[in-house]
Amino acid sequence: MIKKLSNKTKAIKLFAKNMRKDILDMALVAGANSSHFGGALSIVEILSVLFKEKIKYRADPSWPDRDRFILSKGHACLAFYAALHQIGFLKNSDLKTFEKNESNLMGHPVLNKKIGIDFSTGSLGMGLSIGIGTSLAAKKKKKNYTTYVIIGDGECNEGSIWESAMAAPNLKLNNLVVILDNNGFQQTGKNSDILNLKNLSAKWKSFGWETVTVDGHNIGKILKALKNGPSKKPKIIIAETIKGRGFSFSENNNSWHHSVLSKSNYEQGLKELNGN
């Protein structure tokens, strides 16, 4: 029996498809400058659900009661810029400036509230610390916004991640949601070969987090995991993902962590995207 997709799921799937097209376009624009292609593609469905369905925002990106979004794994900014384009904060002409001189769209996000970038990130391990700050500020100011932070599995090699993991439950930050992109790779190889963290869910749970593990490319399961937001605890969603997801030449191929997209790769990607 084929399960019929809801209108909501169809809209999010289209959002994700359009994001992948934007990622292809920007990676091609980068030219000889390589882009972090693989790690951006692994979080497309996650950002699609967040920006299409979950994150609270208005046409004014600096609206004080907006939800906060922090891409701690800032090198995956292609996905972030694609999402900002899809919600109307960026124009087509902006995407064509990716990594060019005087561009607002550099190889890591740089603070620019006018286009929806609330925080500069890219120094791995720091984004979650910022998220604790924004969540704590919301509590103290009695604001009803949620902070969403995306971290990487390789990023969990950083000690600052585990300092934050200890701090958030002690501060009772039930307005904080972390999504861990668990694609199995970091820049120089497999996580299991470099620093094997083994059972991430058990580790976070032991620190006092509400912990959920989902297929990070299954829109329905991501929606369900995010449905109720945090409870009495900060929440972490461990998203099992595929690095380079969406294109046959990049899926589970760690050379696409930081590679140059050729014209032939671009054309193949378009063909596969339109075929699916």
Question: Following DSSP, what letter does each residue of 187-227 receive, concatenated?
Answer: TTEEHHHH-----HHHHHHHTT-EEEEEETT-HHHHHHHHT
- pLDDT tens for the 276 residues of the chain, in order: 456 678 999 999 999 999 999 999 999 998 767 789 999 999 999 999 999 999 999 999 989 999 999 999 999 999 999 999 999 999 999 999 999 999 999 999 999 999 999 999 989 999 999 999 999 999 999 999 999 999 999 999 999 999 999 999 999 999 999 999 999 888 777 878 788 888 999 999 999 999 999 999 999 999 999 986 567 899 999 999 999 999 999 999 988 898 999 999 999 999 999 986
Q: What gap in Å lies between CA 106 and CA 71, rounded to an integer? A: 14
Which string of b and e fits 133-167 if b means at least 16 CB within 10 Å? ebbbebeeeeeebbbbbbbbbbbbbbebbbebbeb
Supply the pLDDT for residue 228.
Answer: 67
> Quick check: is 2 in a domain?
no
Range of the domain at 243: 7-275
> Quick check: is 101 in a domain?
yes
- The CATH number for 204's domain is 3.40.50.970
Torsion of CA 109, 112, 113, 115, to 10 degrees: -80
Cα 169 to Cα 140, 144, 188, 190, 234: the distances in Å are: 16, 18, 32, 30, 6
Phi, psi of 235 (to 5 degrees): -115, 140
Q: What gap in Å lies between CA 139 and CA 150, rounded to an integer? A: 21
Supply the pLDDT for residue 229.
Answer: 58
Domain count, the chain: 1
In a 3-state reduction of DSSP, which class is residue 26? helix
Q: What gap in Å lies between CA 51 and CA 11, rounded to an integer? A: 12
Supply the pLDDT for residue 187.
Answer: 78
> Quick check: is 1 in a domain?
no
Q: Find residue 186's DSSP bridge partners.
A: 189
> Quick check: is 109 in a domain?
yes
Supply the pLDDT for residue 123.
Answer: 93
> Quick check: is 130 in a domain?
yes
> Quick check: is 56 in a domain?
yes
> Quick check: is 182 in a domain?
yes
Residue partners of 62: CB distance under 8 A and separation at least 6:
113, 114
Supply the pLDDT for residue 1.
Answer: 42
